[in-house]
């Protein structure tokens, strides 16, 4: 999400909160007028009461915003848990996905993009985590949302998987500054892969379907950025310290 989009979202949220607070106060004032016909309050007078109150007690807007955001977060978390349960097989048991420690007792799923800076910064820590604790099964979900280079890199990694070289390709692409076909060909040469076969597989219906399925799954789950993680029934949006991931793993054992 861009800075402009974030600022726009914050502005809209503030406006919603103000509307909620104002509507509640107007409703109360309207009820009071209805209960006491002697007061004879007009709509304009009620609006003035609301305006004066908000100017006198502006913290009410902030309090309303907090309640509104908490309710939104709770509702979204509950919705995501339901979807995770419903889509469990697609999330945790899609045999097309690459994984580390396939026999682990707890599964951590990562939705990532090769051009995502936060994904790149977490890569080394994640590798150390699953290297030190082989009981953690790490599932990679190719989620290329940052443009053509991201899509090309994901296709290349999945094509390399067909030649048994996903691990190396994945690690190399996570640090690559160039994701052109020329760079991918150099990687294929480095790992002694059949580049013609790799290029063909990159454009295969199977690879396209896998990426399309993962993008659809992520959007169904409400995942709009990378990295995002799933453990148990919990969706974790955004990068978090690896030690916090380790704590979550222990909680789900």
Question: Which listed CATH number (3.20.20.105, 3.40.30.10, 3.40.47.10, 3.40.50.970) goes with 90-251?
Answer: 3.40.30.10
Instruction: Summarize pLDDT for 183-235 with one digit per residue, the tens.
Output: 999 999 999 999 999 999 999 999 999 999 999 999 999 999 999 999 999 99
Rounded to whole angstroms, the maximal C-alpha distance in the chain is 90
Q: Which of 210, 214, 213, 234 is nearest to 83 (CA)?
A: 234
pLDDT of residue 106: 97
pLDDT of residue 137: 98
d(CA 158, CA 96): 9
* Residue spans per domain, the chain: 3-73, 90-251
Mean pLDDT of 70-83: 86
Query: Across-strand partners of 228?
Result: 111, 237
Mean pLDDT of 164-168: 96
Mean pLDDT check: name the lowest of 18-22, 49-53, 77-81, 130-134. Answer: 18-22
pLDDT of residue 62: 85
Instruction: Summarize pLDDT for 19-28 with one digit per residue, the tens.
Output: 555 555 545 5
Instruction: Summarize pLDDT for 154-164 with one digit per residue, the tens.
Output: 999 999 999 99
d(CA 223, CA 237): 7
């Amino acid at each position: 999400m861009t800075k402009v989009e974030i600022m726009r979202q914050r502005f809209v949220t503030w406006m919603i909160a103000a509307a909620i607070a104002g509507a509640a106060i107007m409703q109360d004032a309207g009820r009071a007028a209805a209960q006491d016909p002697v007061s004879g309050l007009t709509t304009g007078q009620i609006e003035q009461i609301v305006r004066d109150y908000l100017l006198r007690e502006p913290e009410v807007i902030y309090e309303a915003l907090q309640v509104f955001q908490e309710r939104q977060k709770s509702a979204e978390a509950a919705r995501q848990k339901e979807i995770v349960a419903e889509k469990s097989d697609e999330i945790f048991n899609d045999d097309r996905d690459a994984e580390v420690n396939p026999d682990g007792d707890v599964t951590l799923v990562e939705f990532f993009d090769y051009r995502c800076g936060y994904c790149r910064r977490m890569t080394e820590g994640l590798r150390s985590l699953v290297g030190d604790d082989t009981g953690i099964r790490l599932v990679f979900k190719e989620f290329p949302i940052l443009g053509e280079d991201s899509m090309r890199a994901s296709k290349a990694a999945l094509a390399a998987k067909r030649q048994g070289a996903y691990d190396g390709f994945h690690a190399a692409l996570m640090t690559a500054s160039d994701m052109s076909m020329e760079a991918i060909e150099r990687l294929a040469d480095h790992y002694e892969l059949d580049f013609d076969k790799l290029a063909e597989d990159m454009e295969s219906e199977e690879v396209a379907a896998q990426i399309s399925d993962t993008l659809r799954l992520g959007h169904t789950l409400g995942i709009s950025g990378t990295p995002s993680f799933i453990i148990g029934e919990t969706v974790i949006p955004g990068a978090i310290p690896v030690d916090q991931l380790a704590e979550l793993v222990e909680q789900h054992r």
